[in-house]
Structure 1
Amino acid sequence: MSNKSNYNITESDLIKGAVAGDRRMQEELYNRFSPKMYAVCLRYANNSNDAQDLLQEGFIKVFRNLHRFRAEGSFEGWMRRVFVNTSIEYFRKKSAQLSSVSEKEENTIEDSDISALDQLAEKDIIAIIQELSPGYRTVFNLYVVEGYSHREIGEMLGISEGTSKSQLARAKSLLQKKISQYLSDTRKSYTR
């Protein structure tokens, strides 16, 4: 991931070359997109090693299916979907089933605001999100970062819409507590 990308090569030429099996173009495609796709993987993974595994698995899928890209949307968006789906598959294999909630429980869950996120650096936010359980983290990422609806998340993960809402609310609540604690600890270290 540390190699520099050659932006003189157009995205279209890069894709054509990679589909044709040109190793230089495949390497360039990897170098150009691996930092962004690693960030996607890191949001879903338990740790950096798992994120690296997801990155490699995702690129294998990208290269196997590159010929299917129809240029009807952005290439980066297409890749992101491959990596999100790879992460969801990982989640399904690694995690126990998310706990279901009743409609009554769903209506009692508060949807907390996370305004403290504005005060944190991206790496701090990612580290705090990684502390969430895989279920909370996955639903949070799919809803907040990727923009899926609760219905779509339910279908992807095999859970009810209410369970998705519950997992998100609980994730936000935990994140709010973790962020408040982090900010409190940070302020204390500056005042010493």
Structure 2
Amino acid sequence: MRPLSSPHTLSESELLDACLAGSRLAQKQLYDRYSARMMAVCMRYAQTTFEAEDVLQEGFLTVFKNLTKFRRECPLEFWIRRIMVNAALRQHRRNAHLVAVSEGEYPQDLADEEFTLANYGFEELLTLIQELAPRYRMVFNLFAIEGYSHKEIGELMGISEGTSKSQYARARVILKNKLERLDAHRTNGTFSR
């Protein structure tokens, strides 16, 4: 095996082998290689940077604790991403008692209105997603970004499939309204979220 130097000089397999052999330098390199991308994942689920950093740290602790369970059947990044999403879900469950959301408050069958996100910057979209109530943010991210089905989301979050669909629809409506206000701001210079 090559000496450990920069985080991008070792192949994924070599880096994994070094981590499994107990190399602290390899563990740091694995963290350095994936932490920025995983922070972006965590930011989509968290309401604040501080919360996202907590999820990131919890996620990487889980990664290193369970590295022997990685079967190398998929890219390491996918496996780490799934761990980060699960860490975000655990964080959400711990904080769920802090936010009361009436599930029957919103209509379950909303029209599927399309709105184009390509006209907005990443930071704008991230900020708007972070402003969603935690349940809506989780369902939106899991469905729209991570590609989970509503049935899978229901199982992960301990809610019904219908509740997942309802919360996703409500999140879309809220985001659409915020984007319309953002467009109005761009047009006439005023904006309120």
TM-score by length of 2: 0.89
Structure 1 residue 98: Cα displacement: 5.6
Structure 1 residue 17: Cα displacement: 1.0
Distance in 1, Cα, partners of 2:189 & 2:101: 37
Q: Which has the higher contact order (CA 8 A, sep 6+)?
A: 1
Distance in 2, Cα, partners of 1:183 & 1:100: 29
Distance in 1, Cα, partners of 2:189 & 2:108: 38
Larger mean CA deviation between 162-171 and 181-190 belongs to: 181-190
Distance in 1, Cα, partners of 2:151 & 2:112: 17
Number of aligned residue pairs = 183
Supply the AA of the counterpart residue of 1:150.
H
Aligned residue number for residue 118 of structure 1: 118
% identical equivalent positions: 43
Distance in 2, Cα, partners of 1:9 & 1:25: 9
Supply the AA of the counterpart residue of 1:106.
Q
Q: Where in structure 2 are the equivalents of 1:77-156 lying within 5 Å?
A: 77-96=78-97, 99-101=102-104, 105-107=107-109, 109-115=110-116, 117-156=117-156
Aligned residue number for residue 41 of structure 2: 40
Instruction: Identify, as 1 or 2, the structure richer in helix.
Output: 1
Aligned residue number for residue 8 of structure 1: 9
Distance in 1, Cα, partners of 2:112 & 2:93: 25
Distance 1:155 1:99, change over 3 A: farther
Distance 1:189 1:106, change over 3 A: closer
TM-score by length of 1: 0.89
Gaps of 5+ in 1: none
- Checking the alignment, whether the CA contact within 8 Å between 1:154 and 1:161 is kept in structure 2 is yes
Aligned residue number for residue 3 of structure 2: none
Gaps of 5+ in 2: 1-5
- Checking the alignment, whether the CA contact within 8 Å between 2:108 and 2:169 is kept in structure 1 is no
Deviation above 3 Å: which 4+ runs of structure 1? 96-102
Structure 1 residue 19: Cα displacement: 1.7
Aligned residue number for residue 168 of structure 2: 168
Deviation string for 1:95-140 (max 9, x for gaps)?
A: 24764449x9423x2333221x111111111011001000000000
After superposition, the CA RMSD in angstroms is 1.9
